[in-house]
Chains A and B, each alone.
Chain A
Amino acid sequence: MRTTLRAVRAVSARRVGSLATAKPALRTAPFLASAAAGFRVEAATALLQSCGRRNYSAAVTKVVRPTAEMYPEIVRDARFGELTAADVEYFKSILPESAILQDDQDLSGYNIDSMRKYNGQSRLVLKPRTTEEVSKIMKHCGERKLAVVPQGGNTGLVGGSVPVFDEIVISLANMNKIRSFDEVSGIIVVDAGCILEATDSFLAEHGYIFPLDLGAKGSCHIGGNVATNAGGLRLLRYGSLHGSVLGVEAVMADGTVVNGLGKLRKDNTGYDIKQLFIGSEGTLGVITGVSVLCPKRSKVVNVAFFGLDSYEKVQQAFVKAKSELGEVLSAFEFMDRESQIQVARFSELRRPLDEQHNFYVLVETSGSNREHDDEKLQNYLEGLMESEIIDDGVVAQDETQLKNIWTWREGIPESLARTGGVYKYDVSIPLEDLYLMVEDCRARLIEKGYEIGTEASNIVSVVGYGHLGDGNLHLNVAVKSYDKAIEKVLEPWVYEWIQKRQGSISAEHGLGFAKRPFLKYSKDQSMINLMKQVKEIYDPNGIMNPYKYI
Chain B
Amino acid sequence: MPPRLNIVVPVKRVIDYAIKPRVNAAKNIVETNGVKFSLNPFCEIAVEEAVRLRESNKDLVESITLVSAGSAKAQDALRSGLAMGADKAALIECPGIDDSKLLSLEPLAVAKLLKAYVDKSGANLVIMGKQAIDDDANQTGQMLAGLLNWSQATNASKVDVAEDGTVSVTREVDGGSETLAAKLPMVITTDLRLNVPRYTKLQDIMKAKKKKTDKLSPADLGVDITPRLETVSLADPPKRVGGAKVDSVDSLISKLKEVGAI
Tell me the A residues contacting B by CB distance below 8 Å.
1-13, 15-16, 19-20, 26, 38-41, 96-98, 299-300, 304-306, 350, 352-353, 378, 381-382, 385, 390, 392-401, 403, 405
Contacts and interface: CB of A to CB of B under 8 A. Distances in A.
Nearest to A20: B192
Given A4-B232, A4-B233, A299-B34, A395 B202 contact: yes
Contacts of B199: 305, 350, 352-353, 394-397, 401, 405
Contact of A13 (B83, B133, B193, B200): B133
Contacts of A7: 30, 103, 134-136, 234
B133 A398 contact: no
12 contacts: A10-B236, A10-B237, A40-B197, A41-B18, A350-B198, A378-B205, A381-B202, A395-B199, A397-B39, A397-B83, A399-B18, A400-B18
Interface in B32-63: 34, 36, 38-39, 41, 44
A455 B209 CA distance: 48
A405 B133 CA distance: 22
B31 to A, nearest CB: 11
B21 interface: yes
Contact of B201 (A382, A394, A398): A394
Q: How large is the interface on B (under 10, 10 to 19, 20 to 34, 35 or more residues)?
A: 35 or more
B202 A16 contact: no
Interface string B169-204: 000100000000000000000011100111111110
B164 interface: no
Contacts, number: 131
A394 B200 contact: yes
B247 A16 contact: no
B229 A97 contact: no
List 3 tightest A-B contacts by C-beta distance, closest first.
Answer: A399-B18, A398-B38, A394-B199
Contact of A403 (B18, B191, B230): B18
Given A5-B234, A382-B206, A397 B80 contact: yes
Contacts of A4: 231-233
B103 to A, nearest CB: 6
Contacts of A392: 201-203
Contacts of A398: 16-18, 36, 38-39, 41
Contacts of B41: 16, 41, 398, 400
Contacts of B193: 20, 38-39
A8 B201 contact: no
A304 B235 CA distance: 36
Interface in B94-118: 103
Contact of B192 (A9, A19, A26, A403): A19
A19 B172 contact: yes
A350 B202 contact: no
A11 B237 contact: yes
B213 to A, nearest CB: 17
A9 B38 contact: no
Contacts of B203: 385, 392
B247 A8 contact: no
B202 A306 contact: yes
B120 interface: no
Nearest to A306: B202
Nearest to B130: A16
Contacts of A2: 229
Contact of A9 (B15, B196, B202, B232): B15
A353 B199 CA distance: 8
B210 interface: no
B223 interface: no
A283 B197 CA distance: 50
B30 A16 contact: no
B53 to A, nearest CB: 18
B123 interface: no
Given A9-B20, A353-B199, A399-B17, 11 more contacts: A7-B134, A12-B136, A20-B192, A39-B193, A385-B202, A394-B201, A395-B205, A398-B17, A398-B18, A398-B39, A398-B41
A9 B229 CA distance: 19
Contacts of B233: 4
B56 to A, nearest CB: 16
A90 B247 CA distance: 20
Most buried by A among B80, B133, B136: B136
A5 B232 contact: yes
A32 to B, nearest CB: 16
Contacts of B17: 13, 41, 398-400
Nearest to A207: B34
Contacts of B229: 2-3, 5
B23 interface: yes
Contact of A8 (B23, B137, B205): B23
A399 B38 contact: yes
